[in-house]
Structure 1
């Protein structure tokens, strides 16, 4: 299956913002959220598997792909706003309850959706991230080198947009290349095209992660709020190299956790789609 096999539509979520949403299959709903610097296309292989018995819903996150890219007001790209988008998309498609999986940026949105909308999210999967507060805690000293882009895009508006805009393909292509990706030429070109057209909104998404998202997650940590639905986390074994126990960090947030280490690069839905699809099926059976 490739992206031409998906049905596409635009769905309005809030404040006139419309998301580009791809769907395929039939059955109980599973929403898949993409990461950086990608679009819903990253799920093409996993969706082909799940579509046999599930309705698979794959939005481009606001500010990414072919979804709208509204100007940032401070909350526009908060994970709370983006999580509400996900609930709105599912509801528009007739689903009040759904399983949810996210990779990278999409995993942070899924995390927030699980905390804010537990009555809607039945199962939750996170691919290759830590919760936001834990991520900032471990990105210290030389460990922060691997996440230099987090610090760049957290700066006040202007600098990151200008620097990235000067050489967008070099910037976005850097991550596609070093994070273990091996993409067909047309797929890589599509990721670069979509990212070039979304520099301002992508930076705003990352800036929110260092500001308002920290505020929201801190409030949940202090209140003792947990992800109460079954949770599966798939990660590379980068915790050992950076000096932390990823499983332990996730256990502080999820009361029903299945944490698995995957032997591939960051783009695991494309590098090891059978492993990811199998883990999602195991999650859905819990």
Structure 2
């Protein structure tokens, strides 16, 4: 199967010393960057990107450490800090000639998008987050037996060695577990797409774990520093989210409202992989955001 988005050009773009990203780019017009989640690649945006490309330049990278992008060795907490990955995104957009751009992220990509919005408010014009909470809030709401749904967060937060060894020993079962339990419509991820995700993930265990490990350490520090300073997202923000609150006991719109001044929070009836299960709904929300 084609591992990139049909009709898009595939390029490699250097964004930092020793780090180049695999990127699919298509369309023309005002730019929007789309960041994928776990355990996926930029291919998850194939439906949404094709629609938006009718009137936007759409840039879809594999995040550092994922897909066909470079996977630098974790030589400290900053290697896969969301601050570092957000800087990759800013450099990527600049490489295509865009100093300002809209940004949407799903899951892990949404955490990168939020950090980009906080660190680079002069660059990010609009921001969308799909089905995740900001890092600091995510850890705050995970407690008791209900936190078992996030067992992978705790596994990959452990020091280097054990989590990589355990996941590598059964990578397809581990990554496939999330593709199975987080989806409502299994046909939304066909077998050939699923294999693309599994192949990409089994070849990136160390860097994926490093990404999650950063979110249990340095990313919390960065979020907490912003909260203490009262730093918030200044651009229009749209959040699409499943109704996690009833299960985990939190008010998602209130949590997001503490971070975003201009917030459109929508509780949606889609599964986690909403860009693939309900692309028309995601496209509609993104177009509404871009019109604000």
Superposition TM-score, scaled by structure 2 size: 0.97
Structure 1 residue ranges without an equivalent (≥5)? none
Q: Secondary structure at the match of 2:126?
A: strand
Q: Encode CA deviations 1:143-174: one digit per residue, 9 max, x unaligned.
A: 21110000000000001000000000000000
What is the alpha-carbon distance in structure 2 between the residues aligned to residue 246 and residue 146 of structure 1? 17
CA deviation vs aligned residue, 1:21-61 (integer Å, no higher than 9, x gap):
11111110000000000000000000111010000000000
Name the structure 2 match of 1:110: 113
Deviation at 1:211, TM superposition (A): 0.6
Rounded to whole Å, the distance in 2 between the matches of 1:142 and 1:25 is 46
Where do residues 12-27 of structure 1 align in structure 2 (5 Å cutoff)? 12-27=14-29
Do residues 243 (structure 1) and 249 (structure 2) align? Answer: yes
Per-residue CA deviation, residues 94-128 of structure 1 (Å, 9 max, x unaligned), is: 10000000000000000000000000000000000
Q: Does 2:180 align with 1:174?
A: no
Q: CA deviation at 1:262?
A: 1.0
Q: How does 1:197-276 map to 2 (within 5 A)?
A: 197-276=203-282
TM-score by length of 1: 0.99
Q: CA deviation at 1:234?
A: 0.2
Cα offset for 1:240?
Answer: 1.5
Distance 2:6 2:50 in 1: 12
CA RMSD in angstroms comes to 1.0
Q: 1:285 aligns with which of 276, 288, 291?
A: 291
| Counterpart Cα distance in 1 of 2:146 and 2:219 | 22
1:138 and 2:115 correspond: no
Q: CA deviation at 1:142?
A: 1.2
Aligned residues: 286
